[in-house]
Amino acid sequence: MFKVLFFGDVMGSIGRKAIQKTLPSLKKKYKPDLIVINAENLAHGKGITEKILRQMQEAGVDFFTSGNHVYSKGNADQIFASNEFDIIAPANDPRTLKNFGYKVIKLGKNTVIMLNLLGKTFIDEQNIDCPFKTFDKLLKKVKKHKPDYIILDFHAEATSEKVAMGHYVDGQIDALLGTHTHIQTNDARTLPKGTLYVTDIGMVGAQESVIGVEKEIIIEKFLNNSKIIFNIPLSGEVRINAVLLELNEKGSKIKLINEKTVI
């Protein structure tokens, strides 16, 4: 049995503090072999920094996936190129450096491949390649490593695109985990050909917010089409969304995790 504890998008300092506070008890409870977070919102809602990634490593995080916002701080290329962190970005985003859309992880006797792809529907980014066709190319490449398990973080907005991708990859990889919408979906399941699936893991962020941002800002956006400023609550109740993958050749399982803490 190989266990992966995978957290949804971690939103700003309140999300980081929640990881630091609760990860020790979650590790004790679930005993994961690998701990992963989606990191694209770590730095005040958009982007990453070396300091923040180190904080998360010190808290016990092993690996980082991301999404379109990972490039918001303008330093992502340098972070990737430094090889200090086990982090990937969407392989079909033209900003992603070559071979940083996936990574080979060796843990004991297990070889795990982490993949990252970005959806196209309702995603406000330019020149994104087709995630389905990019997946086909990636799969051919990573199979050369003879992995025991393959996990895909599909960072996408539209539920229909995520469900379609789930069926497209079913039987070819071990798990497809949706990220980006920050709302945990109640559809964690095993697809017909054996791939574990959830439309969205959710987030680690302020409960009394709109997907992690101060609710008043988003309400004002809907009322008056005002500009969204990524102000994130600094304290209060935090929603901790994750999934636990139990990977096994004899039959794998996916479990939704939905916890709370106060910062």
Average pLDDT over residues 141-155: 97
Average pLDDT over residues 164-186: 98
Which residues contact residue 99 at a Cβ distance below 8 angstroms, ignoring those fewer than 6 apart? none
Q: What is the pLDDT of residues 207-221, one digit of tens each?
A: 999 999 999 999 999
Q: Which residue type, as a one-letter code, is found at position 77?
A: D
Q: What is the pLDDT of residues 116-142, one digit of tens each?
A: 999 999 998 989 999 999 999 999 999
Q: What is the pLDDT of residues 231-246, one digit of tens each?
A: 999 999 999 999 999 9
Cα distances (Å, whole numbers) of residue 212 to 45, 90, 181, 262: 8, 22, 10, 14
CATH number of the domain at 2-205+237-262, please?
Answer: 3.60.21.10
Annotated domain spans of the chain? 2-205+237-262
Residue with tokens 């959806």: 119
Which residues contact residue 116 at a Cβ distance below 8 angstroms, ignoring those fewer than 6 apart? 65, 66, 67, 88, 89, 90, 91, 101, 102, 152, 153, 155
pLDDT at 189 over 90: yes
What is the structure's pLDDT at 74?
A: 82
Active site residues: 69
Average pLDDT over residues 191-197: 98
What is the structure's pLDDT at 112?
A: 98
